[in-house]
């Protein structure tokens, strides 16, 4: 999932710096931080959701045993409703959300 996390950061316009085998970025204070593990833990997932909200997306997640369905929605072109931009399913919620973000930003399925 490291490669997915790196790809998501790059899609969000973050300059990824590889240092000693880790993917890093410079935060607002200019300090190096690890790219959040968007597909692996809750804090990274929430960071990713925040970045998507900044871009006008909203997320809907449902548990449909045995998988989670993550959907990203955005205002439609008319501005009078929401349109489904991406949906992905996975047995782990964080992975479903990360995959849905990749599809929302690229229009393509993650194949890494």
Residue 23 near residue 4, CB atoms below 8 Å? no
Cα 110 from Cα 99, distance rounded (Å): 6
Q: What pLDDT does 81 receive?
A: 87
Q: Residues of the chain with pLDDT > 70: what percent?
A: 100
Average pLDDT over residues 16-20: 94
Q: Give the helix, strand, coil percentages of the chain, each rounded to 5.
A: 35, 35, 35
Q: Spell out the domains of the chain, with CATH numbers in brackets.
A: 2-106 (3.30.2120.10)
pLDDT digits (tens, 9 = 90+) for 34-47: 999 999 999 999 99
Q: What pLDDT does 110 receive?
A: 97
Rounded to the nearest angstrom, the gap between the alpha carbon of residue 62 and the centroid of all alpha carbons in its chain is: 16
Q: What pLDDT does 90 receive?
A: 97
Cα 58 from Cα 73, distance rounded (Å): 5
Average pLDDT over residues 1-18: 96
Q: What pLDDT does 42 receive?
A: 93
Neighbouring residues of 55: CB distance < 8 A, sequence distance ≥ 6: none
Please say if the pLDDT value at position 104 is more than 90.
yes
pLDDT digits (tens, 9 = 90+) for 44-94: 999 999 999 999 999 999 999 999 999 999 987 777 889 999 999 999 999
């Amino acid at each position: 999932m490291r490669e997915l996390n790196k790809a998501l950061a790059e899609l969000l316009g973050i300059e990824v710096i590889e240092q000693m085998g880790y993917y890093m970025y410079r935060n607002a204070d200019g300090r190096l931080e690890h790219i959040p593990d968007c597909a692996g833990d809750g804090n990274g997932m929430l960071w990713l959701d925040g970045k998507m909200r900044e871009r006008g997306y909203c997320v809907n997640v449902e548990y449909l045993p045995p998988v989670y369905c993550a959907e990203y929605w955005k205002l439609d072109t008319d501005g009078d409703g929401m349109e489904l931009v991406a949906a992905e399913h996975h047995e782990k919620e964080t992975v479903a959300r990360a995959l849905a973000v990749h599809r929302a930003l690229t229009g393509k399925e993650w194949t890494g």
